[in-house]
Structure 1
Amino acid sequence: VYGLGTYVMVGVLGSELLATGANGKPLLTPVATTAQHIAGDAGKIIMTIAAVLAFFSVANAGILSASRYPLAMSRDRLIPPMFRDLKGGTPVAAICLTVALTVLCLVCFDPLKIAKLASAFQLFLFALGCLAVVIMRESRIESYDPGFRSPLYPWTQIIGMIGPLWLITMLGIWSILFIFGLVALGGAWYFCYAKGKVSNPGGAILHLFARLGERRSDGLERELRGILSEKGLRADDPFDIVVAQACVIDDEEADYEQIVHLAVDHITDQADVDRDLLLQHFLQSDRGVTPVSNGVALPHFRLHDLQRPILVMARALHGVNIAGNADDPEDSAVFAIFFLVSPDNDSGQHLRILANIAGQADTDTFISEWLAASNAQELKGIFMRTGNCITFRLKPGDKTAEWIDRAIKDIQLPDDCLIAAIHRRDSMIVPHGNTVLDENDRVTVIGESPGLKQLREQFEQGQDRPGFYAAEKGS
């Protein structure tokens, strides 16, 4: 669009008029002047009104996006904490600061010169952003899981660093001095105010040093895991399937070591993995356990020979203590433990599933709901609240009987639905096309709402809901 607009303006006005204008100075209103040449004064007025309206929307978007700078800096403790406070999900203080500084600059300084300095600032930020991409990539942090990876790395980033710096020199000496002044002011602010407050000094650079035998930053990994939780799952992440196929341990008397042995038994039943390696990893609390919040722990591991993620949920109604989890045994009582093992060839998916479990478990109401659940299906339903899962038992004498003694490949499911798990007596079966369903199997189907609604109507119509369960109601 910009290229087409420039082509039209050059074609109508000519490069000479755009460069010198009518009075020997560069033309500052090329769009309005082009409209005047094409449609007369009416065209100029219409284009001017459109430009003013567009300016309001751009200014509003710019202020709201620019307010994320003080918000992010406050979260990193580089500026006072008031700027990270949210009211109704809105960083009010950060927005007010941004608006105040914008108005101050427009009132007190020449707008044309401010535009030049602002351009230099944006170019400098772009160069720093390209440098940050290089550092993050080279740090090899597992928690770094971007949704998009730029092509031609690192040449794209190298050009992105050199190009803006060259353009800044073309803007003149004041722009160059402005950038040096910003760097000096930022350095002085860091050493005078922020150095003793930041929780993650060094960041990804320390991970780059770690590859050379130096220190690393655990704080950055925690921050990136938080970002993963906020970003949520990707469309192809099998979170619903992993939860639906999860085994559940619900033992009031077992201690943590016994729960670990039961969890490892479930995992080795589903995959050919080294049992001793899993036990060693999960029983070393400083390696495998990730505390999320009070009463929740997430032991996790990635294995080379694993084909799919496997989740085991464990509930301890009276709480268990994990050695080394806290100085005070009462503070280390854990009521919910989620053992997650995943293939080691997709660390990003492993971390997204882990972050999604952590995000849902890290709420004020989770533990009370977890302890109040009456069965395994309700425990799983806590993580599947969106209505994208149903579970029903195959019983002779009702409409579910039509699936008994049939292979899954021969069953016509609604679009966007699939059988995710089969619970048969005391075991969980991972379904395949040739899997034959038996009487009293408890079948979990996941999918989109229209398809699940069709299944509900198919099995509920004319029945008194025999053996039928919605994920959010349990089984």
Structure 2
Amino acid sequence: MAKKNKLKKELGLFEVFTISTGAMFSSGFFLLPGLASQYTGPSVFVAYLVSGFLILPSMFSIAEISTALPRSGGAYFFLDRSLGPMIGTIGGLGTYFALMFKTAFAIIGIGAYAAIFWDVPIKTIAIMATLFFMVLNLVGAKKTTGLQNFFVSFLIIVLGAFIFDGLYNIFFSDRIDIPKANEHFTPFFTNGFEGVIVTAGFVFVSYLGLTQIASVAEEIKNPERNIPLGMLLSLIVTGLIYFLGVFVMVSIIEPAKFATDLAPAATAVKKMFVWMPGNLGAYLMTGAAMAAFASTGNAGLLSSSRYPFAMGRDKLFPPMFSKVGKKGTPVAAVLLTTGFILLFILLLSEKGIAKLASTFQLLIFLFINFSVIVFRKSNIESYDPGYKSPLYPFMQIAGIIISIVLIAYMGWMAILFTAAIVLLGVLWYRYYARVRVKREGAIFHWFALLGKYQYAELESEFMTIIKEKGLRQGDPFDETIIRSRITFSEKKTNFNELLNYVSGIFSEEMHVRKEDLVNDFLTASAIEPALVIPRVSILFAKKEGIDRPSLHIVIAKEEISKPVEKNGISSDDFIRVFFFLVNPAKEPRQQLRMLSRLVDIIERSNFVDEMMELKSHREIKEYLMHNERYITIHLLPGTVQSNMVGKQLKEIKWPSEVLVAMVERGSATFAPNGNTRLLENDVLTVIGEPKSISQLYDQYLQV
């Protein structure tokens, strides 16, 4: 992917948590509880808990796909690559507008609460807030989320105090009349079980922000850990605050008043926080409400702007929207999104628009759950999620059913709105995108009858994503490099002779048939385009009965002609460096990650020329491992490290999580053990965790 079209990885676990959490807190806590109680009465706080469980299938599905395909655009990218570009276009445009509607109304909420303190037009404040968020988004995602972190932290502190104070007053003080408060819970279910389900659907919108993090997945560091963990933590914290906070409101506010109260949290706080001077408690709650609306607005602008960016990169939108500015942000996409949000703020006033947008989001959840099934059934090996949804496929089937049921409860207006968005997406795809896009989704890899329509480059694209994600913890790449066999081919030879020679060595080591290895090395695969690099050849095989990867590297002093066929045209590549990798058949995705790491190394500038200059096995292996996880220590006389000379490895105190992987002694290189006694001029190659390697650097090599 071109550098100008790539976003910086700046977001960690806390940012994932605050984006997801901030996107969920606004009307869900500060507006909806009273209105929702009309459907089920005091059991409304139970409905919030039920609603949190209803979003679990979609959360698990999005977490899985996000760790496999951490790309900007979230739902759009997932649907495009699973169900094809037409569904992707519908999903992208629909989710884009749905997010912008919600963002616009959240920002209007800032103006509404600001008007409590100052005599200012609500929409003027909303416009100023939008422009402020726009500037932050143009500066960079890290700075955008810096403000988000503040908003969410402040919000959780205030709401935590609200819940603690409320529960204390209800159960441990005489400030609230307990018998009277108990009357608020009778009858508990005013409309029975159906009322709870209807209410859960009504407040479901409160949790929809949870999945917005998927749209910025490309900017998240270590996405395989941070996305699922951040989303789960966000759901737990938000669900508890909703459940306990609404329970406090039900306990304190008269039922008749609660059902029509548009600011129930503010009403409740008037009977609490009496230990604070004046109206400070009310001011704090109002400040928390503004922080909630601001965090939703800020997170909404950040995540929604990634949709035109991702669609522009895929040619479903004009390419100008895929450009990244000097600050590493999609400038045109941010400006377009800001313009739409300002337009909605100025022109729209109907509160029901959030409900309409939520209906479309439910349709997207239905497609997302189905997409997980498609990806799993497609058998695309380079679909390699770091997190897998539990209880597959029952979790996804439940998610599909939940979406259908909740859409039915949203009413005809919401369903018609969703149909209109679908029609817009179809028209945009037919008259703008179809002539520009030639790919198909993973669904064509699933159905054998449609196999002739498989999009061969999908495997290659997913391979590129694997390369960007890097190795997974536990992948034995460094160990494989250390154990690798290296051959310097001094005389001119042909490819077939080399292939038979290397396959013969593997055959003896692994006790497998040489002919089978030759055939495997020669078999082309769908990821082949991702492995094409000038003057380098990567050949790979998978075998049953072996328990670890094995690598053979060949450095050819004279170029070796290798036959290759591209697009039906036969030609020759002239190779100087060969990599032959054999992996256990039970670990196909590990092989892809190993191959992707090799490609990452080979793509270094002047790779072949630098490899040709290296003279020893140790130098080659260290060059291939070169990163923050290894260090070389030369036992030279008169140095700090010379105190190791004459000692066995097990007698030396090493930092935790390091391993002396190689010792070079003269012209020989070998893997040591604990009894190996070190000699003067030995060169030690040590691998381990970055912190431990840094300790060794400071101890032995820092001048």
1:175 aligns with 2:399: no
Task: Render the CA deviation track for 1:210-250: whole Å, top value 9, x for unaligned.
Answer: 38865433221112112211222222222222223223334
Q: CA contact under 8 A between 1:394 and 1:442: conserved in structure 2?
A: yes
1:297 equivalent in alignment to 2:537:
yes
Cα distance in 2 between the residues matched to 1:197 and 1:257: 42
Q: Unpaired segments of 5 or more residues in structure 1?
A: 22-26, 463-475
With over 3 angstroms needed to count, the CA separation of the structure-2 counterparts of 1:287 and 1:101, relative to structure 1, is: closer
Q: Which of 396, 404, 407 lines up with 1:157 in the alignment?
A: 396
Deviation, structure 1 residue 78: 2.0
Query: Which segment drifts farther, 291-300 or 451-460?
Result: 451-460
**Distance change in 2, residues 1:72/1:458 (3 Å):** closer
Question: Are 2:267 and 1:33 equivalent residues in the alignment?
Answer: yes
Contact residue 456 and residue 526 of structure 2 kept, 8 A: no
Does the 8 Å CA contact 1:281/1:288 hold for their aligned counterparts? no
Q: Is the 8 A contact 1:249 1:263 kept in 2?
A: no
Amino acid aligned to 1:197: R
Instruction: Give a deviation string over 1:113-169, Cα, whole Å, max 9, x none.
Output: 331222122222222111111111111221111111111211211121121232223
Q: For 1:352-367, what aligned pairs fall within 5 Å after superposition?
A: 352-367=593-608
Deviations 1:381-427 (A, max 9, x none): 34433332234578999545435xx5x77765431012334668888
Q: Distance in 1 between matches of 2:505 and 2:332?
A: 50
Q: 1:285 to 1:352 in 2, by over 3 A?
A: closer
Write the distance in 2 (CA, Å) between the matches of 1:18 and 1:426.
Answer: 83
Distance 1:415 1:29 in 2: 55
Q: Which residue of the other structure, out of 632, 642, 646, is the alignment partner of 1:402?
A: 646
Q: Secondary structure at the match of 2:402?
A: helix
What CA distance in whole angstroms lies between the structure 2 residues aligned with 1:159 and 1:285? 39
Q: Secondary structure of 1:112's match?
A: coil
In 2, distance between residues paired with 1:380 and 1:289?
Answer: 25
Q: In the alignment, is residue 415 of structure 1 matched against residue 659 of structure 2?
A: no
| Residue 623 of structure 2 is aligned to residue 389 of structure 1 | no
Partner of 1:144: 383
Contact conserved, 1:400 with 1:459, CA < 8 A, in 2?
no
- Tell whether the 8 Å contact from 2:460 to 2:527 is kept in structure 1 after alignment: no
Give 1:31's aligned amino acid: A
Q: Which has the higher helix share?
A: 2
Could you say what the CA RMSD is over the residues aligned between the two structures, in angstroms?
Answer: 3.5
Contact 2:363–2:403 under 8 Å retained in 1: yes
Please report how far the alpha carbon of residue 336 of structure 1 lies from its aligned counterpart in structure 2 after TM superposition: 3.5
Deviation at 1:304, TM superposition (A): 0.9
Tell me the equivalent position of 1:338: 579
**Shift of residue 305 of structure 1?**
1.5
Given residue 538 of structure 2, which amino acid in structure 1 is its aligned partner? L
List alignment gaps of at least 5 residues for structure 2. 1-240
CA contact (8 A) 1:247 1:266 kept: no
| Offset from partner CA, 1:297-322 (integer Å, 9 cap, x none) | 32122111111112233344664432
Query: In the alignment, which of 113, 138, 151 is matched to residue 352 of structure 2?
Result: 113
CA separation in 1, counterparts of 2:599 and 2:376?
Answer: 25
More deviation in 152-161 or 260-269? 260-269
* Structure 2 counterpart of 1:195, from 420, 434, 437: 434
Is 2:318 the counterpart of 1:71? no
1:177 to partner: Cα distance:
0.8
User: Residues 141 and 55 of structure 1: is their aligned pair in 2 closer, same or farther, counting only changes over 3 Å?
Assistant: same
Q: In the alignment, is the contact (CA less than 8 A) between 2:381 and 2:588 conserved in 1?
A: yes
Partner of 1:24: none
CA 1:107 to 1:417, structure 2 compared with 1: closer, same or farther past 3 Å?
same
Letter in 1 for 2:540: H
User: Whole-Å Cα distance in 2 between the matches of residues 236 and 192 of structure 1?
Assistant: 48
Q: CA deviation at 1:66?
A: 1.8
Amino acid at match of 1:176: I
State the aligned residue count: 450
| Identical counterparts, % of pairs | 35
Residue 134 of structure 1 corresponds to which residue in structure 2? 373
The secondary structure found in structure 1 opposite 2:271 is helix
Partner of 2:338: 99
| Equivalent of residue 548 in structure 2, options 308, 314, 337 | 308
C-alpha distance in 2, partners of 1:286/1:122? 37
Match of 2:460 in 1: 222
TM-score of the two chains, using structure 2 as the length reference: 0.57
TM (norm. structure 1) is 0.81
Q: Distance in 2 between matches of 1:375 and 1:347?
A: 31
Match of 2:179 in 1: none
SS in 1 for 2:368: helix
For residue 299 of structure 1, give the secondary structure of its aligned residue in structure 2: strand
Partner of 1:208: 446
CA distance in 2, matches of 1:90, 1:295: 35
| CA–CA separation in structure 2 for the residues paired with 1:240 and 1:392 | 17
Counterpart CA distance in 2 for 1:411 and 1:265 is 40
* Relative contact order higher in (CA < 8 Å, ≥ 6 apart): 2
- Which deviations, in whole Å up to 9, do the C-alpha atoms of 1:4-32 show, x marking residues without a partner? 2222222222554332x2xxxxx322222
Letter in 1 for 2:532: V
Cα distance in structure 1, aligned partners of 2:661 and 2:596: 21
| Distance in 2 between residues matched to 1:247 and 1:4, nearest whole Å | 62
Alpha-carbon distance in structure 2 between the residues aligned to 1:180 and 1:106: 23
Deviation at 1:430, TM superposition (A): 5.9
- Which residue in the other structure is 2:173 paired with? none
Summarize the Cα distance change of 1:158–1:311 in structure 2 as closer, same or farther, 3 Å threshold.
same
Return closer, same or farther for 1:71/1:251 CA change in 2, 3 Å cut-off.
Answer: farther
CA 1:287–1:92: 2 relative to 1, 3 Å:
closer
CA, structure 1 residues 345+174, in 2 after alignment: closer, same or farther (shift >3 Å)? same
For residue 158 of structure 2, what is the aligned residue in structure 1? Answer: none
